[in-house]
Each structure stands twice: as C-alpha cells, then as structure tokens.
Structure 1
Amino acid sequence: MAEAHQAVAFQFTVTPEGIDVRLSHQALTEIYLSGVRSWKKRLIRLKNSVITGVYPASPSSWLFVVIAILATMYTRSDPSMGLIAKIQEHLPPYPTPSLLFSTMLWLLLIFTMRLCLKQLLSYHRWIFEQHGKMSNTTKVWALVRIFSGRKPLLYSYQGSLPNLPVPAIKDTVKRYLESVRSLMDDTQYERMTNLAAEFESSLGNRLQWYLKLKALWAANYVSDWWEEYVYLRGRSPIMVNSNYYGMDFLYVTPTPIQAARAGNSIHAFFLYRRKLNREEIKPVSLATIPCCSYQFERMFDTCRIPGTLTDSVQHWQDSDYVAVYHRGRYFRLWVYQAGRLLSPREIEFQIQRILDDPAPPAKGEAKLGALTAGDRIPWAKARAEYFSSGVNKRSLDCIEKAAFFVTLDDDEQGMMGDDPAASLDCYAKSLLHGKCYDRWFDKSFSVVYYKNGKNGINAEHSWADAPVLSHLWEYTLATDCFQLGYNAEGHCKGEVDSSLPRPQKLNWEIAPECEEQISQSLAVAQALADDVDFHVFAFRDFGKGKVKKCRVSPDAFIQMALQLAYYRDRRTFCLTYESSMTRLFREGRTETVRSCSNESCAFVQALEGGEVRSDVCRRLFRSASEKHQLLYRMAMTGGGIDRHLFCLYVVSKYLGVESPFLKEVLSEPWRLSTSQTAVQQMELFDMVNHPEYVSCGGGFGPVADDGYGVAYSVLGEDVINFHISCKHSCPDTDAHKFGAQIRKALHDLLQLLSPYQKEPTRTEKTRPEVKKDL
C-alpha cells in the first residue's frame, strides 16, 4: 500500500552483491520536519515555563533590577547593606557579585509578589457582600488587580491559586442535617441526628486528622480521589452513565456537505490545540478572579485505558493525526504534511476519500467500538488478551494515541422534519450513545459528523468537567462559521494538494472469542441505550431578561422551577444535585449544591397547598432563592458538604473502619441531578445580529434509575435550553411529562413575580449573579 510506505524512512534488500539500500527522500523529509516541529514546541513550552514561573513579574524585569542595582553602585551607595561585598570575597571580581545580588533580589521580589497574590486570591468574602456596602477588607482586596499582571498565559496563575480548605467536621455535619430535614420525617431525622452526633464526637475527628494531613501535602485534597473513585473505579459502562454530549447550532447548519463540515471543524480543533500548547488561551475568570486551568492539560491526545480493578487516564505528546470511523472501518487521518497543518479544504478532501472508500470492514471490525460501551472488566480482559501484540496492538495504539476520535455517521440529525421536537430527542440520544459501537467512548472526546452536515461531540468525563470541553466547543463552532467559512457550493475554502497520501485504513485480526465478547458488550450497551428516555426543548417564551427584571438570579429561578416541577410530578421532594465549580482553588473540579432546601420546600408547599395570599408565596420564594444563592456561593468557596463527606469516607475505607453515618450519607440517591452550562466566550458570538447561531447546549444520562437528569443552558436574554433524561424502565419517570411540568412551573413563577418587578428586595442588593459554569 502506498500510504504504508510513507511511514518508513528506508527499505533494504539483500542481494548477491551486498545490501541494497533505497532511501525514501519524502519520508526522510517528513522525519526532519517532524523533528523541527517537535523542537519548536519544546522551545515554546520552555519559554512559557519561564514566563509562568516568574508571573506576575516578567523575565524582562530582571534586567530592570540589574540596571537599577548597577546604577546605585556607580553612585557609590550600597543597597545590599554589605551583602555584595560579602559575595565578592568568594566570587570573581565585579560585576559578578552585583549580578548575583540583583538576581537574588529579583527572585525575592517575585516570591513576595506571588505570595501576596496567593493571599489575595484566598479571600472570597467579596462574593457574599452587598453592593454599596463593601467592607474595608474587600477594598484592600481589590489590590488583586495590581498583582495580577498583564496578559497572563493559560497557566500563569496556577502557582498562586489557593488550596481548597478542609471544612470543620461540625460545620459539615450541621449543613448536612439541615439539607435533609425536609426529606425525612421526625423519626428518620432523629435517627440521622444521633448517627451524626456519634460520628462527630468519635470517628469523625480521627478521619479529619488524616484529611488535613493530606491537604497540607496535596495541591487539592479532593480531586485525585474524585477522579479515581467516582470515575475510574466505576465498573459499569461509561456510555450513558458517565459520558456527556454537546450539540451543534440549533437553527443553522453552515453546510450540508458532511466532508466540508468535518474539514473546517477538524482544522479549528487543531488551531485551538496550537493555542493551547502555546498557552495563548486566556485563563477563565470569575468576576476578574482567575480560575484553575489544570484540566485543559489532558484535552487532546488522551484516552481512558480499561483495567480490571480501576481504569487509568493516559496522555501522550501531540499526535499529528485523528482516528476516523466510517461504516465499520477505522482510519488514521494525518492532518500535518511537510510540517504544516492541512488546510480545511485538504482535510475535506481526505475525509471525502474515506467516505468514498469501498473497502469492507475486516472480520469483527465493524462493531469493535462496542467494547468501550460495555462493562469495563470484560473490556480490560479482552484488551489484555487480544490487543496486546501484533497488528491489533498497533491499530489500537493508533486510536488511543490520536488527537481525538471522529465518527462519520450515515444518519441525519438535528431539528428537522415534520416533528422537530422529536428530532431533537433523537439527536440527543445519537450523541449520547449512537449505535453503541460507532463511537470510541474511551477517548477524551469524540466528534460526530452527520450526513446532512450537522455535528456534535461526546466526551469522557474523568479527565475534566463540562465547562472545559465547552470552551473548546465554543471556539470550534465560532471558528468554523465566522472565520473559516464556506464557498458558494458549501465546500471549504482554499486549494487542494492532490498528492496527499491517502488516509491509512487500520488492520485488525479479531479472534472468534473476541467477536463473542464484542457481541456481549454490545448487548449490554444496547439494553442501556434503549432504556434511556430523552427530551430536549428550547424554552423561548421568556429568558433571563424577564427573570432579572423580577430581581431574581436566573439560576435560582430555574432551580426553584425544577423543585416545583418535581413536586408536581412525584408529589414529594428529593435530594437534588446541582454542580458548582471549585476552580477558584488549585486543581478544583466541582462541588454539590443541595438545591432542595427547607426554604424551597416551604415555598413549594405553600404554592401547591392553596396559599391564597400571593405576597406570602413571593416572600417564601425570595427566601428560597436567596438561600440557593448562599448555598451556591458556599460551594464555590470551599464550604460545600458532599466532597468533604466523600473524602472522609475514602479515608475510612483506607483505615478499614466502618461509619454507619458516612455509609448512609454516601448511599443516598440523587433522584434529581441538574447542571448548567454557561456560554463562556460570548465575544465569539453575535447574539444580536445572529441569534440563530447558538448551540442547543448539551446533556447527560440519568444518575438514578428512578430519577431525572436535567441539563440547561441560558442563552442570551430570551432562550433557555433543557435536556431531560430518565429511564423507560422506571414507571414513575417520563422525560416529556417532566418537560411539560418544567414549562408550566417557569410560567407560574414568572406570573407570581412579574406584578412586582419594581419591588426592591434583598436579592437585588446583593452582588450580581456569580454563577459561571458547572
């Protein structure tokens, strides 16, 4: 095969005259250019390491300090107070001692600035203060802007971010008991109170000591255990249960040509990776306060590797290709040629070659991806037995080490046809699980391109949380449409080098026993996928514009609507999970906001219990929404409940001790799991002139077998998108019915509040909405 020869630098044969060596100049050129590109990347990373290491100062500030010290020496003054003379006794003569002292002074100044910045970033009381009543402490804290430096790189703040604090046992226990009071009767609550008191007075203090010891040593006392025990040690399928998805534009398809859409967006993905490698991405911030960026590190060239006890996340150096699936075949598509990134038109040309390739899949190849969709232990055993050597290992390495995974789907998806609502539901299910074998669910993310030009993304969850991938997805969608664009025929712009080597089809030798395991994994995955009930809809009756006129946080408004909708649907309350980010701390991920509070339950019961006085309901609603905002702010600033209890539970397992309290807490089901995905780069989209260019957001599968998963995104002033999931197997849940309850609850809340839009409230006086992302 011609493309196979591009991978070797030379060939040789043994003849009677000796060894005949035939050099491949094209291959040697590729090796040379690849080496040059690799060294350029190393130099860029070295430069960025220096810049990040001295931030918030700059490397050029060293020269300023040196010149200043030398200038004082010429004026016969000694700023070192005799230290330079002491150095001169042991080192060569002037000016080496002055340079050494200047460097030491410069490093001391950097250390002081970084220490001051870390202390300033550790202050979070500003989140809780009211407008117009800023304390003197907060006014001093505003100096953070002075110490923040200019034009930071992506990882500039990493060394200055504070560590996540360990809450006091008594505070966590108190907040937990408060969060479950409305979910338990008096007998249950008394029993839980006794368990909590026993835990707090005995075992809790011992576990807390170990946890504080870890917090002193580790950058974050939660994140590594969260990744391992919540994600990597799960033995059930990650498809539906863990992976999540993101959708394309809701109302616009930039081109109906599948290969062209892939060409533009794949090119955009690699442009983003280039910016990522150069650390040119601006750090995400919350009200000018920087957030942790460590999750960006494993975005590309990453794969989850199955194991019998626990999986692992492997990250490789930059791959210059993507793995592509089409009609049961796997291909390696090189995106670099002669050291340059292929143009969108060239990538489209290569994708079209794959679409036109008539070769059938090898025996057992077509549904190979089902191994990543089924249970983890069978996949780990099959990988060790059938993919550890030979051609299978080479092909599997190609997929796992690819920059990311691409699926060219033969289906058409999106909002279309006579029933656009139903088509959105099918679109969501396709992105979440597809056919259960046409995605590689272990890759950090897989991009799906449909026959009609629509696309979407499926992401593995262990390496990062949704806002990180959402940042990439926003950039790709915007770059695809507003920067790269398409010609009048719908093709990518630019010219094509027709001499490009064809994409390389991967080879497999699948044993009959492996085929049997593939079939078993597919059966498990198919049953899981068939059980998922999905409903996606764009709520356009009103958005955050009207909600803010009611002087209410949009997120609190939606959360109260979800509580009201769930109560109407099930006539009871449930433990509710809302994701909050903790990226104000180093290596922070998420914390849980327990949205079902005593205040929210009191409001819902009053509204549904026939309370005739609307002012009473409004007062209860204000109290509930303010409590929700307080819980959210506490979760963001390290005052959450669930991550602390989770880590205490992990410590108890390491010590081999049982805690009835922790065991019961950790076994409580989250029957309503919610999450908001916010648009982080509004500057990329023109919501005024092009409101149709908005993504429908993304979603995830249900967390509990008898519960709902609800993802929502607030877009512009007038749109709220909802993604609702549950399981058909539960007779008490119905995604469409719950969606109707959410619509009604939103209208009812607005009707309750809208007559009093000009009413001054405490919510109005507090700081504006601080929610950034999940």
Structure 2
Amino acid sequence: QTLDMYLTSIKHLVKEEQYQKTKSIVGKFGEPGGTGELLQEKLLEKSINTHNWVYDYWLDDMYLNQRLALPVNSNPAMVFPNKTLEITKTHSSIFAAHLITGVLEYKKHIDTRALPVDFSRGQLAGTPLCMKQYYRLFNTYRLPGLKRDTLVIHKTGSTEQEHIIVACKNQFFVMDLVVKEKTLREMDILRQLEKIVKMAENTEERQPPFGLLTSDGRTEWAQARDVLIKDSVNRESLAVIEKCLCVVCLDDPSGMEVGDTSRALLMLHGGGHEKMGANRWYDKPMQFVVGEDGVCGTVCEHSPFEGIVLVACTEYLMKFMTGSPSKIGRATSVSELPAPRRLLWKTTPHIQGLLKASAERLQRLVRDLDMDVHKFEVYGKEFIKKQKMSPDAYIQVSLQLAFYRCNGRLVSTYESASIRRFHEGRVDNIRSATPETLAFVKAMTDEKTSLSDSEKIKRLWDAINAQTNSTIAAITGMGIDNHLLGLREISQEIHMEMPEIFTDETYVASNQFILSTSQVPTTVEMFCCYGPVVPNGYGCCYNPQADHLLFSVTSFHGSTETSSAVFIKALDEGLVEMRDLCKTSNKPQSNAAAASKAVEKSQGLHPTSDTCPGTW
C-alpha cells in the first residue's frame, strides 16, 4: 500500500522516463520475499519492543542530524498580538514580569499533571491525544554535536531548573526563581528584571556577545563549544544556561518600522548581530522576547514539541496576562533578594574569531530571508465552510494554484499532519500536490477558456476530496513518509547496503520540499512564521480566521526561482478566482461532493468544522 501510494504521489511530478525507472526500482523492492519484505519484518519486530517505532528515526532525520543554523532554517516563531505593542512601549519590564509569572503558573500545571487532555479537532474529531510534548516545553535543551545534536531532557520539577536566563544587551543573567524555598512573586520578578537592566547598562563589565555562537551551523557551534568548555568559567556558564527553565530576551528598540513582517523577522533572527540577533540563545526550546518597542513573541527550538503545543502554551499566557491583573503595586517583597548573576566568559583571540565568523554567517542569513506576512481580507474560513469544504484542504489547493501560476508545475509539498493519536506521536506528511489538484490548477490556468465552470468545480471537489483522504491517512498512521523513513533507517541498523529505492533520484527529490506548509490556527490574535526548508523553496504558514486568512510566506533572495511577494500576489488572485467559481456554481451538489459526504458520514468526519491536521 505504501509503495502504491508513493508511486501515485510522484508520477505527475517527474518526467515519464524517470517515473518508469522509479516504478521498476519500487517493483523490485516490493517483490515477495525481497528486500522490502525483509525490512518490513524488521520494522514489525522493532514496533513490538518500542512505544513508537518511528520516533527516534524521525527526530534524528527531521532535527538532530540537520547541520543548518537554527534561526530561520529550523526554529519557528510566534508573534504576539498587536495590543502588546502599546503595553510594552512604556512598561516592558512590567510586561516581562507578568509574562514570567504566567510561565510559572503554566509550568505548575505541567508539573502537577493538571493540564486537561487534548482531543483532536476537525477530521476524526474527539480522539484523545498524547500529552508528552507538553512535558518537554521547559525541561529540554538541544545540545550541539559535531555530527548529531542531542536532545537533553531534565527531570520534570528538578531543583536544577529553578532559574531562568535573562538576555539584555547581549549579556546573560541568571535569575533564581526560588529563594529560601519560596517562589518569587511578581513584584520580586520585576525588581530583579530592573536590576538586570541596570547591570546590563554597565559597559565596563560587558561580556562579548556569546549568544551569536548558537545562531551558527550546528557543527560550527559544536566545534566552538568544544573550545569554550576547556575553560572552567565558560563551562560553568554553559551549564547554567543548559539547565534553565527558559530564556527571556529583553530587547532594545530595533529601529525598524513596526509592522507584521518586521515583527516576524525580529522573532526569527533578531535582525542580525547589529540588532537583536546576539540577544538570544537559540538552543533553548522556550525563548520569550519582550522588546521596548513592543515587538514581543516566542522563538522556539523545535525538536521537543510541535506548534500546536506552543499555541496552547502561548494562548494560555496571553489569556493569563489579560484575565489575571498584574499584582505589581499591590504586593511587597518578603525580603531583600540577592542580585541576579551576570554570566561570565573567558575569551581568547581564537574565540573572538569564532564570534566574528558566527556574526557574519548570521548576517548573510538575515540579508537572504525574504519575508512577507499577508492578511487576505476578501473572505475567511466561514465562507469556505459554507461551501461544505474543509478550510485546510481548500487553502492547500489554493497554495498549489499559486505555485503553479508562478512556476508552471507542481512540486513535492509538505503539510504536517499530527499523529498525536499515538504514544509519542509527532507528525507525518500530507503530500498536497496530488494528481487531482494538478487537474484543478490546470483547469484554472492552462485550460481556463476551454472548460466550463461545472467542470472546474467538479475538479475542485476532486482536489478537496483527495486532500481530505490524504489527511485522514496521515493522521491515522497510514501516511507514507514515516513508513519509508523507517524502512530506510532500519536497513542501516542491520548494516545493509542502502536499497536503491532510497538512492533513486525520484526519492531524493520527493524529500526536497520546495513548498513547506502548515496550518497554525489561533484563537488569540497571534501568528506563526518559519523559514523555507530548501534554498529554492517557500515556507508558508497560515492561520485561517472567520473573516480573513493570514499567511506568513518566506523564501530566499538568493534563489532566482522564488519571490515571496510574487507568490502572495498569485495566492490572492487564486483565492478570489476560487471564491468566484464557488459563487457561480449554485447548482445541485456534484457527484464528487456527494461521494465526499458519504465518506465523511461513514468515518465520522465533520466537513464543515475547522480541519486542523497538524502544525509544522
């Protein structure tokens, strides 16, 4: 079944000659008694002895083996609502203190296992979901390695994690959260933050911007870290950071005009070493940014958890901050607190050279990123739901239409699908560039004048249904990407020569996701963003709201094949054309739509609900 689905997913994306070659390779792999069957048996054996047979393979392949720098390439960001702008412009330390108080409240829920169990929404709604990712929000750290990083997991509620790191003016300070066995109150936190801001202004004690090293490629950072830990002072500072609860970055004004796109850029990479890029520690999964100019949000190291878990955490914090009034001014400190500690570093000419090289590489990344945050206001998900269509499937088809309009072809596409229905489940891939979608986008472009509206709407329904079926397969553990990954990786575990199916140019190309997409819906006015996963690709994160659709599109200036603004323009045009097509087709429901409804009824689906297959 996996091999058949694989061939179907790539046939229309490659030349016929290449497809026939791949079909032959796949057929040989799947022969009875052949290599595929042997690897399948080994995978079944592994599944008997593990909670989740794909988890370690997936974590290594998706994150820990990757050598690119974390900013832009891996770490996503969540940009806080506009209303935080005015609050923080005059009271950034008060805002930060209230935020930290909310973090401590949320962590208390985690430590006491008081979080309510999540249930799936949209397709196959009502299924309980694995909660393990929540317990890795604050107690993990991505340690750089020369060839492979390590996800360090501290014991929940450990006394080693009773502090946070505060970054201010590229300096790092330790703020103990528990003093004399008592957790700091909000007024205490504010006073400590004010002390840190004052200490950071002391230029005589200022340390080099060591946070820059974490923005570098993973191998380069691992090599630099090996140099640092030769000195006990550096070793101690690193140990304190690696065990912290979270990082809070107090940013100076960026000097940029504050808009959605500029805020997203500052979250993703800090604007480079000349702005806030060094006022970060990118290895820490939860990093909160509070800017004096009101630019606030989170930057996340992605390996411990998916975006939907981040959304749940940040929405809790936003609701805490608006629904729970600040206690500052109504409470006093119980005692005089010890001053926060500035982390010290020992530097050498060699280390100075490493810092300079990291700064230059970060700056190149900053210059290269092409970001466009766009609010499509013609209609939102409510219009789509009135068409009896899944908003997610509809938007995915619109993305394919935009890409085809820009490039005259479809490409291997990634849409993440949550598999938290399974213990330790993370995501599988919904391959959105289906043959049915290709037929639809051609109907709207190349064949636009030769086809009737009724044929176009039929093709739209075919594309929607194909996307829906792919979603159902992925979220129920029947996707192909994790299965193929497992077969590939277990072949290496048993020291087999890599099977030809995995060295074939089609397989390699099919895993180069030129279009990397994800739905990240929020109930609070926030939005998520991330970078492309290949040099000539797009990253597209979307947030469907009732009356508008929000898109964060990224690409690289260095590619002649991409332009975020051009893609957004094509997306706008396609969304309007799809609306017009739906409006002109006020006819009895098509056979395709009726068939879709029958499938939905038999499988307990809710076609008009918000489909949320997953995120990142």
Q: TM-score, normalised by structure 2?
A: 0.90
When structure 1 is superposed on structure 2, of 747-756 and 572-581 the one drifting more is: 747-756
Q: For residues 436 and 318 of structure 2, what CA distance do their matches in structure 1 show? A: 40
1:384-405 Cα deviation digits (max 9, x unpaired): 2322552211111111111011
Q: Does 1:411 align with 2:253?
A: yes
Structure 2 counterparts to residues 284-683 of structure 1, below 5 A: 284-286=118-120, 287-316=125-154, 317-318=158-159, 319-357=161-199, 358-360=201-203, 365-412=207-254, 423-434=259-270, 435=272, 436-485=277-326, 494-496=331-333, 499-608=336-445, 609-610=447-448, 611-654=450-493, 655-664=495-504, 665-668=507-510, 669-679=512-522
Kindly tell me: are residues 758 and 477 of structure 1, through their superposed partners in 2, closer, same or farther at Cα, counting changes over 3 Å? Answer: farther
1-structure distance, mates of 2:249, 2:204: 15
Q: What is the CA distance between 1:674 and its match in structure 2?
A: 0.2
Letter in 2 for 1:310: R
The alpha carbon displacement at 1:288 in A equals 2.6
Q: Which amino acid aligns with 1:674?
A: T
Unaligned 5+ runs, structure 1? 1-170, 683-693
Q: Using CA pairs under 8 Å that are at least 6 residues apart, name the structure with larger relative contact order, 1 or 2.
A: 2
User: How many angstroms apart in 1 are the aligned matches of 2:360 and 2:37?
Assistant: 47
Shift of 1:228: 1.9
CA distance in 1, matches of 2:188, 2:597: 54
1:613 Cα deviation after fit: 0.8
Cα distance in 2 between the residues matched to 1:732 and 1:527? 19
SS of structure 2 residue aligned to 1:592: strand
Q: 1:492 to 1:635 in 2, by over 3 A?
A: farther
Matched letter for residue 451 of structure 1: E
1:187 aligns with one of 10, 14, 17: 17
Aligned residue pairs, count:
579
User: Which whole-Å deviations, capped at 9, do the CAs of 1:490-518 have from their partners, x for residues lacking one?
Assistant: x7764455722222111221122111112
1:424 corresponds to which letter in structure 2?
D
**Aligned counterpart in structure 2 of residue 744 of structure 1, from 534, 559, 573:** 573
What CA distance in whole angstroms lies between the structure 2 residues aligned with 1:344 and 1:547?
Answer: 44
Alignment map for 1:266-277 (pairs within 5 Å): 266-277=100-111
User: Aligned partners of 2:254, 2:345: CA distance in 1, in Å?
Assistant: 29
Which string of whole-angstrom CA distances, capped at 9 and with x for unpartnered residues, describes residues 685-710 of structure 1?
Answer: xxxxxxxxx33321111011111010
Report the CA distance between 1:453 and its aligned residue. Answer: 3.3
* CA distance, structure 2, for counterparts of residue 246 and residue 510 of structure 1: 34
Q: Within 5 A, what are the aligned runs for 1:101-140?
A: none
- Please state how far the C-alpha of 1:754 moved relative to its aligned partner: 2.3
Specify the structure having the higher radius of gyration (Cα): 1
Q: Structure 2: which amino acid aligns with 1:676?
A: Q
Is the alpha carbon distance of 1:656 and 1:367 closer, same or farther for their aligned partners in structure 2, counting shifts above 3 Å? farther
Q: What's the offset of the Cα at 1:379?
A: 1.9
Q: Does 1:205 align with 2:205?
A: no
Counterparts in 2 of 1:551 and 1:270: CA distance versus 1, 3 Å: same
Q: Equivalent pairs: percent with the same residue?
A: 28
C-alpha separation in 2, matches of 1:505 and 1:559: 48
Runs of 5+ unmatched residues, structure 2? none
Deviations 1:59-80 (A, max 9, x none): xxxxxxxxxxxxxxxxxxxxxx
Aligned position for 2:548: 719
Which residues in structure 2 correspond to 1:64-83 (within 5 Å)?
A: none
| 1:283 lines up with 2:113 in the alignment | no
* Aligned residue type for 1:273: K
Matched residues in 2 for 1:329 and 1:438: separation? Answer: 7
- Is contact 2:261-2:372 (8 Å) kept? yes
Q: Distance in 2 between matches of 1:236 and 1:425?
A: 23
Structure 1 residue 733, shift from structure 2 partner: 0.7
Q: Deviations over 1:269-298 (max 9, x none)?
A: 110000000010011111332101111222
Q: Deviations over 1:102-136 (max 9, x none)?
A: xxxxxxxxxxxxxxxxxxxxxxxxxxxxxxxxxxx
Distance 1:744 1:384 in 2: 52
Q: Which residue of 2 aligns with 1:127?
A: none
Please point out which of 528, 540, 550 is paired with 1:698: 528
Distance 2:329 2:300 in 1: 26
Match of 1:16 in 2: none
Q: Which amino acid aligns with 2:318?
A: L
Asked if 1 retains the 8 angstrom alpha-carbon contact of 2:411 and 2:514, the reply is yes
TM-score, normalised relative to structure 1: 0.72
**Following the alignment from structure 2 to structure 1, what is the Cα–Cα distance between the partners of residues 212 and 529?**
21
* SS of equivalent residue, structure 2 residue 371: strand
C-alpha RMSD of the superposition: 2.0
Deviates more, 1:655-664 or 1:590-599: 655-664
Distance 1:751 1:507 in 2: 62
Counterpart-to-counterpart distance in 2, 1:181 and 1:493 = 67
Matched-pair contact (CA < 8 Å) for 1:349–1:496? no
- Deviation of 1:607 (Å): 1.6
> Aligned partners of 1:291, 1:673: CA distance in 2, in Å?
24
